């Protein structure tokens, strides 16, 4: 439901920016992806991670942008073949500084992302590294399992 207002007499009240936020949410729902175009709504604090996925040989490599976080505030978990990344950006500023913002675009303070790992992922060999605000998670994968031949015996 992108268009919620049908009555043209309501144009005076039409809130353009609110509509953009709604559009962003709708696009989020459609694709299940973080939509970074409009981040004006401070209520959207907990957004998806912006992640690129690479492969190197058999390994899967996830690179997520998590700027300004201490490494100990990032948690990477694998449970039942589901990889979960959580991080929180703690504000170091005092209350006084908080009240004197001239411009505030970096609204995001919590990061969360989950993904189901494919078959063959070696969950006990997952490694994670945080450098320059980017978390790199490497998931090794086993060689493709060969189909097991079963002899059919008959008497």
Residues lying near another protein in the complex (CB under 8 A): 33-34, 50-57, 61, 63, 65-70, 93, 97-98, 100-106, 130-134
Q: CA dist 69 to 13, 25, 51, 131, 146, Å? A: 40, 25, 16, 10, 43
* 64 Ramachandran zone, left/alpha/beta (phi>0; psi -120 to 50): beta
- The CA dihedral of 118, 46, 108, 33, to the nearest 10 degrees, is 40
CB of 69 to another protein, least distance (A): 6
CB of 132 to another protein, least distance (A): 5
Q: Is 105 helix (H, G, I), strand (E, B) or coil?
A: coil
Nearest to another protein of 70, 142 (CB atom): 70
CB of 56 to another protein, least distance (A): 5
Nearest to another protein of 56, 80 (CB atom): 56
Nearest to another protein of 119, 155 (CB atom): 119
CB of 98 to another protein, least distance (A): 8
- Candidates 62, 91, 58, 92; CA nearest to 76 is 62
């Amino acid at each position: 439901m992108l268009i919620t207002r049908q009555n043209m007499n309501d144009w005076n009240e039409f809130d353009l920016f609110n509509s953009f936020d709604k559009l962003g949410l709708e696009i989020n729902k459609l694709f299940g992806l973080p939509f970074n175009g409009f981040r004006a709504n401070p209520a959207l604090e907990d957004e998806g991670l912006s992640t690129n996925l690479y492969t190197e040989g058999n390994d899967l490599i996830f690179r997520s942008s998590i700027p300004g976080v201490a490494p100990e505030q990032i948690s990477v978990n694998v449970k039942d073949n589901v990889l979960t990344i959580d991080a929180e950006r703690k504000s170091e500023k005092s209350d006084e500084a908080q009240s004197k913002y001239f411009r505030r675009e970096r609204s995001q303070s919590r990061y969360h992302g989950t993904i189901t790992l494919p078959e063959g992922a070696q969950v006990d060999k997952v490694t994670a590294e945080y450098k320059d605000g980017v978390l790199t998670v490497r998931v090794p994968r086993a060689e493709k399992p060969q189909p097991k031949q079963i002899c059919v015996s008959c008497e």
